Amino acid sequence: MMIVVDGTDGVGKSTLSRNLATHIGNPKQAITHSENTLLGPVIKNIMREEPLNLVARTILYASNLKYTLEKITYDKLCSKDTRYVFDRYIYPTLASHKAMSICLKDSEPLNIINKLFFVAMSEFKVPNATFFLYANNEERAKRVESRHNNTLLDRMSGSKELEQELYLDIAKLLRDKGATVYEIDTTKLTADEVNNISLELLRASNMCGI
């Protein structure tokens, strides 16, 4: 079984992913780009030293995630007895880089990323449940203020606001595929409250037997 927690920076993805993994499975089954994937640490170091162009970044992140899914194997992801919680899936990679391309007003990477978007939406496994987390701009800025590992592109003015809007489009596409999608505004919620709401939603769907 595969549960995904997605959203832009500062909305509480990593905290919820860890909490869900602890409650419904195994903390070691909380998969993140930076910790449990083949290229995660390498990508992180590359971004600190020299930002890559948007197309290269998109392909690198997508390939990293695809390899991780292959390692887990399709059978485990489909099994109700094995529960994986993903802190970021393919959707933030697509939304964030598309948003940056739009803000840069650069049509070439935008055209390529749009093509990658539709390929990824068809090629990547649809999760059993996806949580899209949101927060208002002021609250997000407060939460990420102490972070120093974002690249110049990631801090680009306006891109994160646009990225959040793009998640609405992705959520609609997923629902059109019959996927289970939950949207939670974390602006005024504590981490415990977000976790409790998420667990209740999963219990109500009778998805995880919790």
Kindly state the tokens that stand for 147.
Answer: 């972070």
Q: Delimit the domains of the chain by residue range.
A: 2-204
Q: What is the pLDDT of residues 112-155, one digit of tens each?
A: 888 888 888 778 888 889 999 988 888 887 877 766 555 444 45
Sign, CA torsion 33/122/198/2? negative
Lowest mean per-residue pLDDT among 30-39, 63-72, 185-194? 30-39
Task: Name the residue with higher pLDDT: 30 or 177.
Answer: 177
pTM of the model: 0.80
Average pLDDT, the chain: 79
**Section 11-28 average pLDDT:** 82
- The CATH number assigned to the domain with range 2-204 reads 3.40.50.300
Convert the pLDDT of each residue in 32-66 to its tens digit. Answer: 555 556 666 666 666 666 666 777 778 777 877 77
Percentage of the chain beyond pLDDT 70 is 74
